[in-house]
Amino acid sequence: MDEFQNPTDPEIKTLLETTKTIALVGASPKPERPSNRVMKFLLDQGYRVIPVNPGQEGDTIHGQTVVAQLSDIADPVDMVDIFRNSEDAAGVVDDAIAIGAKSVWMQLGVINPEACAKAKANGMTAVMDRCPAIELPRLS
C-alpha cells in the first residue's frame, strides 16, 4: 500500500496552527527519549499535551498527569501523536477514532499506511513518518 500521501506542507502548517490539544501516546519520563523531548517542545510551543502511557499512569511528565489510554481523556483531543512501533499504530488509530480525535500523527519511523488510510476514511487528517518538532520550525 504505497499510495499513502502525507498532507502537503500548507496542509501540515494549517493542522499545526489549528491543533490545541495533543495526546502523546508512548510518552516517556526519560529525558533521553525522543517522546520526552518532543513533548517538552510542544508544551513550550503552547500546546496542551496529555501524556499517554499505561506504565506511567498517574505520574507526571513535564508537569502533565499521565493517563493510561486515550479513552481516559475527558476533554476533546485535536491530535494523537504516536510514539509506538509501526505495528502498534493501528490500535492507536482505532482508539483515536473512538475518541473523535481530528488527526493522527505517526512519528519518524512509525510507518503504517493501512492505519493512516483508516484514519482518513474516518474523516481524520493523517501524517506518517514525520515529527511536529521538526515540521513546526520548518514551516513557520
- Mean pLDDT over residues 116-134, rounded? 97
pLDDT per position as a tens digit, 68-124: 999 999 999 999 999 999 999 999 999 999 999 999 999 999 999 999 999 999 999
User: How many structural domains is the chain composed of?
Assistant: 1
pTM: 0.96
Say if 86 falls within a structural domain. yes
Say if 4 falls within a structural domain. no
Range of the domain at 70: 9-139
Say if 121 falls within a structural domain. yes
Say if 18 falls within a structural domain. yes
Would you state the pLDDT for residue 1? 42
Q: For residue 92, how far is the Cα from the chain centroid?
A: 10
How many angstroms separate the CA atoms of 12 and 129, rounded?
13
Would you state the pLDDT for residue 4? 81
pLDDT per position as a tens digit, 11-59: 999 999 999 999 999 999 999 999 999 999 999 999 999 999 999 999 9
**101: which 3 cell numbers?**
480525535
φ/ψ of residue 64, rounded to 5: -105, 135
How many angstroms separate the CA atoms of 87 and 115, rounded?
9
How many angstroms separate the CA atoms of 68 and 121, rounded?
26
Name the pLDDT band for 3 (thresholds 50, 70, 90). Answer: low
Would you state the pLDDT for residue 25? 98
Output the domain CATH number for residue 27. 3.40.50.720
Residue 2 confidence (pLDDT) above 60: no
